[in-house]
């Protein structure tokens, strides 16, 4: 057996886990038994799956998961005796943890892992013994892969710093080196003016001496190099140390536009400063306490993230001077900002009217990054719900289900384009912005003001996800009543819960029909207080708490046909018949006779799917159900608990639709991938469902 276990530990998990040992409920309880009845792996956490492979005989895990509280693999055990877990091959530093270590009868055995910081693979064998007896036949060979060699140097708790700066009076800097290899550090020749003292391995204090009184140069520079040893000499980090006599007194004022044109993505090398106005308002909780946005008359803005939130004492409408020398600018933002010796002459209550930008379209939000803008002729695509888009996080877990998870909001403009409005919130109804649940969104068109920023988890713009962040409820000047800027042809929004079991779909405004190829009616699994137990991101009435933690309004189809369907159903020319074909999607019918050549038709859709539901959709248009459809759009529909893509979409219909008596839009499945983002290569299941939270078809001027 030991020989077999060694083979398993060395060659672990080559085959996929196809089946588990069966259970025999008729076992003779007089004979001790213990066996596995099921195995589950954890879902990816923050996009990382810790399990490389797993079987009933053991599992193989990655070196770094950074979450030792999550059970990576769980086995369901069936037994008629008390039992215990023993690590027979050793378990140095307790890197593999079993919960529970002892158990009785049937139960679940969970394994958690600690990160492997070493450069060698490690393995062990977990054997289950009867508590007062011999080993059982259940044992797991577990292996954790070796870590890659690394060396990370943090300067004042900030990673990836390549430059340390000091004023003429000197400076003290904390350096932390995190590495799993041997390394050394050196100074460049002539750098006796700064010195390092290492309190313990990797914890270094860098002291920069004051400049001599007779120093007659603008600055002095040195180089601090951290270098791996032996086979790892190619791993190296160099940090430039710069000390300067420069001060704001000799600086030149430039605009933010000039600053960004010269130094975006770089460090400011000239002695300069900007004079601008604070256009953000942290008082209402819609921007973090440690952030402010400054804008000037050039029409550009800068986001400052303070090193200490308590230093951010600058209120909305304050005009101030910011010294920009030696600041690193990335995506029109400055991180680890310190107010002392950098902010001068704050003048409160100046107001923002002199710097706010008025824009007529949202086609290029990146041009206005970190700018306060006033959008003319703006409209909420779906006027129901609250301001707070509670589904902005990439991944939710079951524990996050709560009645304050509301639908994300999309804003559009007559001049073209759309953007999501974002209101900073917490995980409870009292947290975050003070106005996020203030009222239902107004109908109509008008002016909408806000700061265009990168999304809350993407401040460096790595994913280029832009949001419009309002500062207060007063930034919304879209009228509650009055003439609409867009004429609704069809807008389907569902009323509050009708508990009769079948909810008819009636346009909220305009005329038209909406059907599904799944079923002629709309069925909802429900209890006395629940329509559908899934997250669909839509609360019809923000003033009323949902009846259950997962209660949302959405039309739910019957089960999609799934991956076993013939490939022909995904063909754009496949005939549509509600009585015979299951697996397509949704049908919207309306008239476009009042749409002129100077106008365009737009469809807005807010979709979601079950974890096993379909992911890929296309939209076709035609003049009848009998055929002749033309494709004009496509989108991905994500799982409600793994929202990653925009939950609202907007597409412009071809101009050939204008003036037609009858337009049929067919929103249909166009692939076998399931919506669950943790299993993107898995086909959707026959029981997978799709749901629509809202559809609006409207016209607007070109």
Band of the pLDDT at 508, cuts 50, 70, 90?
confident
DSSP code of 267?
B
Mean pLDDT across 20-44: 70
Can you tell me the distance from the alpha carbon of 234 to that of 219, in angstroms, rounded to the nearest whole number? 31
Q: Is residue 441 a contact partner of residue 380, using CB atoms and an 8 Å limit? A: yes
Q: Which of 428, 455, 477 is the last residue of a domain?
A: 477
The region of weakest confidence among 91-105, 157-171, 283-297 is 157-171
Q: Within the chain, how many helices (H) and strands (E) appear?
A: 2, 43
| Pair (526, 669) in one structural domain | yes
Q: Is residue 143 a contact partner of residue 12, using CB atoms and an 8 Å limit? A: yes
pLDDT at 108: 93
Q: Is residue 75 a contact partner of residue 17, using CB atoms and an 8 Å limit? A: no
Q: CATH no. for residue 306? A: 2.40.50.140
pLDDT at 169: 87
Q: CATH no. for residue 220? A: 2.60.40.10
Can you tell me the distance from the alpha carbon of 241 to that of 188, in angstroms, rounded to the nearest whole number? 10
| Pair (562, 600) in one structural domain | yes
| Pair (156, 109) in one structural domain | no
User: How many other C-beta atoms lie within 10 A of the C-beta of residue 305?
Assistant: 16
Q: Is the four-CA dihedral 670, 675, 678, 679 of positive or negative sign? A: negative
Residue 503 within a domain? yes
Phi, psi angle pair for 93, to nearest 5°: 65, 15
Condensed to tens digits (0 to 9), the pLDDT of residues 532-580 reads: 433 333 444 444 444 443 344 566 665 555 433 443 344 444 444 443 3
pLDDT at 431 over 70: no
164 vs 655, which has greater pLDDT? 655
**What is the full DSSP assignment across 195-248?**
EEEEEETTEEEEEEPPPPTT--SSEEEEEEEEEE-GGGTT-EEEEEEEEE---G
pLDDT at 407: 56
pLDDT at 528: 38
pLDDT at 294 over 70: yes
The rounded percent of the chain whose pLDDT value lies above 70 is 75
Q: Which of 202, 221, 244 is the last residue of a domain?
A: 244
| Pair (109, 170) in one structural domain | no
pLDDT at 462 over 60: no
Band of the pLDDT at 24, cuts 50, 70, 90?
very low
Residue 352 within a domain? no
Residue 482 within a domain? no
pLDDT at 353 over 80: yes
What is the pTM (predicted TM-score) of this model? Answer: 0.68
Half-sphere exposure of 631 (CA within 13 A, CB side): 13
Condensed to tens digits (0 to 9), the pLDDT of residues 202-230 reads: 999 999 999 998 888 888 999 999 999 99
pLDDT at 257: 98
Phi, psi angle pair for 6, to nearest 5°: -65, -40
Q: Give Cα 407 distance to the centre of its chain.
A: 15
Mean pLDDT across 306-324: 95
Half-sphere exposure of 132 (CA within 13 A, CB side): 3
| Pair (634, 530) in one structural domain | yes
**SS3 category, 15:** coil
pLDDT at 42 over 80: yes
pLDDT at 420 over 80: yes
**SS3 category, 257:** helix
What is the domain extent for residue 308? 248-347
Can you tell me the distance from the alpha carbon of 574 to that of 1, in angstroms, rounded to the nearest whole number? 59
Residue whose token pair is 């005329």:
511
pLDDT at 400: 36
Residue 686 tokens read as 């026959």
Contacts of 214 (CB under 8 A, 6+ apart): none
Residue 269 within a domain? yes
Mean pLDDT across 167-177: 91
| Pair (404, 434) in one structural domain | yes
| Pair (461, 374) in one structural domain | yes
Contacts of 169 (CB under 8 A, 6+ apart): 210, 211
Residue 638 tokens read as 């994500």
The region of weakest confidence among 280-289, 590-599, 625-634 is 625-634
Residue 311 within a domain? yes
Can you tell me the distance from the alpha carbon of 36 to that of 39, in angstroms, rounded to the nearest whole number? 8
Tell me the CA end-to-end span of the chain in Å, nearest whole number. 76
Q: Is residue 305 a contact partner of residue 286, using CB atoms and an 8 Å limit? A: no
| Pair (543, 673) in one structural domain | yes
Q: Which of 316, 347, 378 is the last residue of a domain?
A: 347
| Pair (64, 189) in one structural domain | no
Beta sheet of 183-187, edge-to-edge order:
163-166, 236-244, 219-228, 183-187
| Mean pLDDT, the chain, integer | 80
pLDDT at 505: 72
Residue 531: burial class (beta carbons within 10 Å; 0-12, 13-18, 19+): buried
Residue 442 tokens read as 């107004």
pLDDT at 375 over 90: yes
Band of the pLDDT at 106, cuts 50, 70, 90?
very high
Q: How many folded domains does the chain comprise?
A: 5
Band of the pLDDT at 582, cuts 50, 70, 90?
very low
Among 9-23, 237-251, 667-681, the range with the most confident prediction by mean pLDDT is 237-251
381 vs 75, which has greater pLDDT? 75
| Pair (697, 611) in one structural domain | yes
Mean pLDDT across 663-669: 88
The region of weakest confidence among 243-252, 355-364, 676-685 is 676-685
In 388-432, alpha helices (H): none
pLDDT at 557: 66
pLDDT at 253 over 90: yes
Residue 553 within a domain? yes
Residue whose token pair is 């914890």:
203
pLDDT at 18: 31
Mean pLDDT across 498-511: 69
The rounded percent of the chain whose pLDDT value lies above 90 is 45
pLDDT at 457 over 70: no
Can you tell me the distance from the alpha carbon of 493 to that of 692, in angstroms, rounded to the nearest whole number? 10
**SS3 category, 628:** coil
Of the candidates 568, 672, 664, the residue with the CA atom closest to the CA atom of residue 619: 664
Among 130-139, 272-281, 692-701, the range with the most confident prediction by mean pLDDT is 272-281
Q: Is residue 493 a contact partner of residue 508, using CB atoms and an 8 Å limit? A: yes
What separation in angstroms does the CA of 107 have from each of 32, 39, 132?
Answer: 15, 12, 18
199 vs 260, which has greater pLDDT? 260
**SS3 category, 679:** helix
Can you tell me the distance from the alpha carbon of 96 to that of 334, in angstroms, rounded to the nearest whole number? 41
pLDDT at 679 over 60: no
| Pair (236, 177) in one structural domain | yes
Residue 35 tokens read as 């066996």
| Pair (373, 419) in one structural domain | yes
DSSP code of 625?
T
């Amino acid at each position: 057996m030991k020989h077999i276990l060694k083979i398993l530990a060395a060659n672990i998990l080559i085959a996929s886990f196809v089946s588990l040992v069966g259970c025999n409920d008729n076992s003779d309880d007089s004979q001790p038994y213990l066996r596995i009845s099921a195995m589950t792996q954890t879902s990816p956490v923050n996009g990382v799956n810790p399990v490389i492979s797993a079987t009933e005989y053991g599992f193989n895990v990655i070196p770094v998961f950074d979450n030792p509280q999550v059970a990576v693999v769980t086995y369901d055990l069936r037994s008629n005796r008390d039992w215990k877990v023993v690590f027979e091959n050793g378990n140095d530093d307790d890197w593999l943890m079993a919960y529970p270590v002892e158990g009785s009868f049937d139960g679940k055995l969970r394994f958690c892992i600690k990160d492997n910081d070493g450069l060698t693979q490690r393995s062990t064998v977990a054997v289950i013994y009867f508590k007062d007896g011999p080993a059982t036949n259940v044992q797991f060979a577990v292996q954790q892969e070796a870590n890659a060699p690394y060396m990370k140097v943090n300067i004042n708790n900030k990673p990836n710093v390549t430059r340390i700066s000091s004023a003429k009076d000197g400076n003290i800097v904390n350096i932390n080196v995190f590495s799993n290899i041997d390394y050394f550090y050196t100074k460049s020749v002539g750098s006796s003016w700064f010195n390092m003292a290492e309190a313990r391995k990797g914890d270094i204090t860098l002291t920069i001496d004051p400049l001599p009184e007779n120093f007659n140069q603008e600055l002095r520079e040195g180089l601090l190099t951290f270098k791996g040893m032996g086979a790892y000499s190619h791993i190296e980090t160099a940090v430039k140390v710069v000390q300067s006599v420069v001060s704001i007194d000799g600086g030149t004022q430039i605009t933010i536009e000039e600053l960004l044109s010269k130094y975006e993505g770089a460090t400011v090398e000239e002695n300069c400063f900007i004079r601008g106005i604070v256009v953000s308002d942290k008082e209402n909780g819609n921007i973090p306490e440690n952030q402010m946005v400054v804008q000037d008359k050039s029409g550009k803005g800068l986001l400052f993230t303070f090193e200490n939130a308590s230093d951010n004492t600058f209120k909305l409408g304050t005009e101030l001077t910011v010294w920009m020398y030696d600041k690193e600018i990335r995506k029109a933002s400055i991180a680890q900002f310190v107010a002392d010796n950098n902010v001068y002459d704050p003048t409160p209550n100046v107001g923002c009217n002199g710097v706010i930008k008025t824009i007529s379209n949202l086609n290029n939000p990146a041009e206005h990054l970190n700018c306060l803008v006033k959008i003319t002729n703006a409209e909420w695509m779906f006027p129901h719900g609250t301001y707070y888009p509670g589904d902005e996080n990439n991944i939710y877990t079951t524990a996050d289900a709560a009645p304050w998870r509301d639908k994300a909001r999309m804003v559009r403009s007559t001049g073209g384009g759309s953007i999501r409005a974002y209101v900073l919130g917490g995980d409870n109804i009292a947290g975050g912005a003070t106005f996020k649940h203030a009222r239902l969104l107004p109908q109509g068109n008008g002016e909408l003001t806000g700061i265009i920023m990168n999304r809350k988890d993407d401040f460096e713009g790595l994913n280029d996800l832009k949001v419009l962040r309002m500062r207060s409820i007063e930034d919304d000047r879209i009228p509650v009543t009055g003439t609409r800027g867009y004429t609704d042809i069809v807008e389907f929004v569902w009323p509050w819960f009708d508990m009769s079991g079948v909810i008819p779909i009636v346009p909220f405004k305009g005329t038209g029909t909406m059907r599904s190829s799944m079923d002629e009616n709309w069925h909802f699994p429900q209890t006395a207080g629940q329509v559908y137990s899934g997250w669909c991101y839509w609360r019809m009435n923000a003033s009323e708490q949902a009846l259950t933690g997962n209660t949302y309004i959405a039309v739910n189809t019957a089960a999609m046909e799934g991956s076993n369907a013939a490939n022909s159903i995904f063909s754009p020319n496949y005939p549509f018949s509600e009585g015979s074909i299951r697996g397509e999607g949704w049908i919207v019918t309306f008239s476009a006779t009042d749409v002129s050549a100077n106008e365009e038709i737009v469809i807005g859709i807010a979709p979601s799917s079950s974890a096993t539901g379909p992911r890929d959709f296309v939209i076709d248009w035609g003049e009848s159900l009998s055929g002749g459809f033309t494709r004009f759009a496509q989108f991905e529909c994500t799982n409600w608990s793994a929202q990653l893509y925009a939950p609202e979409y907007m597409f412009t219909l071809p101009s050939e639709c204008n003036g037609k008596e009858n337009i049929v839009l067919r929103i249909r499945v166009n692939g076998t991938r399931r919506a669950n983002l943790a299993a993107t290569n898995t086909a959707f299941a026959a029981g997978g469902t799709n749901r629509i939270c809202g559809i609006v078809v409207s016209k607007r001027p070109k």
